[in-house]
Amino acid sequence: MIKFRILSTDFKIDFSFFMFIAIIFMINNTDDILIFFVSCAFHELGHLIAMFISGAESREVYISGLGIKIVQSRNNMISVWRTLIILLSGSLFNFLIFLLGYKILSPEILTVNLILCIFNMLPFRNLDGGSILICIGEILNADYIFEIILKVFSVIILIAVLILIYIYGFEIIPAGAVILYYCISEFFD
């Protein structure tokens, strides 16, 4: 793992990130790689802008082959409502690019941003959608119910992905592997 600090924020880059990049480069389509990384950067920029506006400070940015996680500083905790807005803002940025870029951006850019928006809203704890459900559970004072919902959803998706891999074979294994990781991580986090 590579670690460094910029101002008061620790950055950690896991080696799985470099492995992911190597696999992407083996596909040999640099346009798609660039579109994907720029779209991910806009997603994270949405979170960072919302954090700045809400007065939240980042403590750590963790980059791995499965995504980027921004951890809020414990010295500057904000309300659950502000946290909810921060969590929604990343996918909102991708959705706005999809909507507003309809006439001027390529279909590939639009598709990647829509997929990132939808994927990040899946109810897995390590994605924005799961974190949003946890925030809603805190607001409703029903954390345990939303924890159960996350686990049930993971089991349903796990079964669905295994069935799809069985039906379609190797063609969907890369996407299936990512989803399987998120399903399994619900039980070991």
pLDDT tens track for 74-122? 766 678 888 899 899 999 999 999 998 888 888 888 988 998 899 889 8
Residues 144 and 188 in one domain: yes
Residues 17 and 61 in one domain: yes
**Taking residues 35-44, what's their average pLDDT?**
86
Count of domains for the chain:
2
Residues 8 and 98 in one domain: yes
Read off the pTM.
Answer: 0.77
As a whole number, the mean pLDDT across the chain is: 82
Cα 136 to Cα 83: distance, rounded to the nearest angstrom:
10
Residue 127: closest CA among 82, 182, 189, 89: 182
Residues 47 and 108 in one domain: yes
The separation between CA 25 and the C-alpha centre of its own chain, rounded to angstroms, equals 21
Cα 120 to Cα 7: distance, rounded to the nearest angstrom:
28
What is the extent of the structural domain holding 132? 123-189
Residue 174 pLDDT grade (very low, low, confident, very high; cuts 50, 70, 90)? low
